[in-house]
Structure 1
Amino acid sequence: MRLVSAELLKLRTTALWWIFAIILVPLWGLALGFNWLTTDAALSMSPEDVQEAGLGDLERLVSGLYTSGQFAGVLLVLLLSAILVTSEFFHLTATSTFLTTPKRERVIIAKMITAVIIAVIVWLFTTVLNVAITPIVLGTMNQPTFLGDAFVWQAIGLNGLAFVLWALVGVGAGVLIRSQIGATITLSVVYVIGTQVLSIVFFVLSEYVWEGFMDLRVLVPTFASDLLISGPTLAEDPPRWVGGAILVGYAVVMSVIGTLVTKRRDIA
């Protein structure tokens, strides 16, 4: 616990956490607005048109509203989790940290626990906003709040799990990419642009090479995360647990590799 407290103290003494918090609020607002417009448009369409547009059913749309801000929130958690590691090398404190705690895996585990705490805080923050605002949004569309339905709380809970898993991926990525600037740019580009590029790639491959390639897009972490939280969009999409299993796989692999690399790598 002392190591975790030390990690939280390091985080609190930098301006990074409140800068990220300030960025998160407008990004959450944009996400809520986008989900609002999408849901409103879908409700004015026939069920067949909704399915054709790949918007999913009403449960998926409502789940999206109650988990608004997930894409941006996860990105910020991912970056902050990586920075927990890279900041040690950026500020040249890695040597003293590992000399103070020779068992390096303990340091990495402490950073993972800290990253999970950050993820839970961000998840709780966005969830409180969503639970407060979404019923009002649904009311403008003459829809009930759905807060008494299990699927809403399932989506919220799975959203929290996704935040935690992405935090672990971030710590692992921070160990592998020790440069703070390099890790921030790489993770941002891969998460945001990579998702869009891979969407196009899978679509083109499914159209011109093999139709089954569209089913494989769930291997992309962001798609797996969306599947876990909101459920399948298309009839041929796999069930939620597949998305969860893929995210768990990424988190475990990155965490294990990160710990092993830290134990073996020269930090001088």
Structure 2
Amino acid sequence: MNLVRSEFLKISTTNTWWIFALIYLPLWALTLLVNYLQTSVLADSSRLGEVSPADAEVFDVISEPPALAANLYTNGQFFGLLIVMLLGTIVVTNEYFHQTATTTFLTTPQRTAVILAKLAAAMLLGALFWLVTTGFNLIGGSLIMVSLDLGAQLGTGTVWEAVGLNGLAYLLWAIFGVGFGVLIRSQLGATVSAILLYLGGYLGAAIILNILAARFGDWISDLQVIVPSLASQLLVAGTDDLPGSPPRWTGAVVLIGYALVTGIVGTIITRRRDIS
């Protein structure tokens, strides 16, 4: 516990966390505004206009009140996971940026214990980030749902499943961040590379899968689950009946698999790599 507390203090006593919070706040507000507009349209099917039978099937599923509520109560996930991943990365790269890595490993020669403490600290940061974000989402989302005469849906099990799975996503992306920081020790290099891979991987995968699905069939859409950022969105869908999408549990399995690989590889690299 002392190691975890030490690692947590290293990041919480710097300016990094509140800088990220200030960056995330307007992004969260903008996302909530977009989700409000989207919810208001989906809640009134007459505003959708003419749609194809396939699109109508999708709209029927995502316009159900529990699905709309799940989307609002997990608002900001896309940017939130990016921020949490970057915080996890900085938990590791801060040591090399401030040249304290040697001192850390001399003080605690058991490198496995150190990297496990960093993983635990990053997960704690991810949990706190999710907790605060969820609190704001529950307030803002409830007001939106009630204003649209849909009810808050807080008594619906699928809504809380989405909220809980969203928390799991935050924890796992914090682990991804630590693994990324181990692979690329340069703080600038690691953060820039993580941002490019996260955004580029999300957009690139979405475009490529849509093109392939149009050519080879809708079964291609199920492959979205192998892309971490898309798997994370699948977790908070609020329903398992979304056409063209695999069940939510597959997204959880894939993310847990990535997290295990990232954590194990990161620990092995840290044990073997020269820290000087």
Q: TM-score, normalised by structure 2?
A: 0.91
1:185 to 176, 182, 192: 192
How far did 1:36 drift?
1.0
Aligned to 1:90: 97
1:13–1:252 CA distance, 2 compared to 1 (3 A): same
| Matching residue of 1:240 | 248
Query: 65, 69, 88: which is aligned to 1:62?
Result: 69
Q: Which residue of structure 1 lines up, in the alignment, with residue 231 of structure 2?
A: 224
Return the alpha-carbon distance in structure 2 between the equivalents of residues 266 and 98 of structure 1: 11
Counterpart of 1:51? 57
CA contact (8 A) 2:42 2:59 kept: no
* Distance in 1 separating the partners of 2:59 and 2:127: 33
Instruction: Confirm or deny that 1:262 pairs with 2:246.
Output: no
The superposition leaves residues 159-198 of structure 1 with CA deviations (integer Å, 9 ceiling, x where unpaired) of: 1111111111111111111111111111111112320111
Q: Distance in 2 between matches of 1:169 and 1:113?
A: 12
Distance in 1, Cα, partners of 2:272 & 2:266 = 10
Going from structure 1 to structure 2, the CA distance change for 1:129 and 1:172 (only over 3 Å counts) comes to same
1:213 maps to 2:186: no
Question: What displacement does 1:12 show?
Answer: 2.5
Structure 1 unaligned segments of length 5 or more: list them.
Answer: none
Give 1:143 shift.
1.3
Deviation at 1:62, TM superposition (A): 1.7
Cα RMSD (Å): 1.9
Contact 2:122 2:175 in 1 (8 A): yes
Q: What one-letter code is carried by the residue in structure 2 that aligns with 1:254? A: T
User: Per-residue deviation at 1:233?
Assistant: 7.0
CA contact (8 A) 2:219 2:244 kept: no
**Aligned counterpart, 2:33:** 33
Q: Cα distance, 1:85 vs. partner?
A: 0.3
User: Is the contact between residue 95 and residue 267 of structure 1 (CA under 8 Å) also seen in structure 2?
Assistant: yes
> Per the alignment, do residues 259 and 222 of structure 1 end up closer, same or farther by CA in structure 2, a change over 3 Å counting?
same
Partners of 2:241 and 2:229 in 1: CA distance: 14
Return the alpha-carbon distance in structure 1 between the equivalents of residues 13 and 39 of structure 2: 41
Say if 1:125 and 1:13 are closer, same or farther in 2 by CA, change over 3 A: same
> Contact (CA 8 Å) 2:127, 2:167: kept in 1 or not?
yes
Correspondence for 2:15: 15
Partner of 1:100: 107
Contact 2:111–2:271 (CA<8 Å) still a contact in 1? yes
- Structure 2 segments unaligned to the other structure (5+ residues): none
Q: Deviations over 1:200-259 (max 9, x none)?
A: 111112223555322211110011111112245742321111000000011000000000
Cα offset, 1:139, TM superposition: 2.0
Which residue is 1:80 aligned to? Answer: 87
8 Å CA contact 1:32–1:69 kept in 2: the answer is: yes
Counterpart of 2:36 in structure 1: which amino acid? W
Please give the secondary structure, in 2, of the residue aligned with 1:148. coil
Identity, % of aligned positions: 45
Which letter does structure 2 place at the counterpart of 1:149? T
Alignment partners' CA distance in 1, 2:217 and 2:35: 32
Superposed CA deviations along residues 21-71 of structure 1, whole A, max 9, x for unmatched, are 112221111111111111111122269555356973423222010111111
Using structure 1 for the length normalisation, give the TM-score.
0.94
Cα distance in 2 for partners of 1:172, 1:4 equals: 17
Number of paired residues?
268
Instruction: Tell me the secondary structure at the aligned position of residue 202 of structure 1.
Output: helix
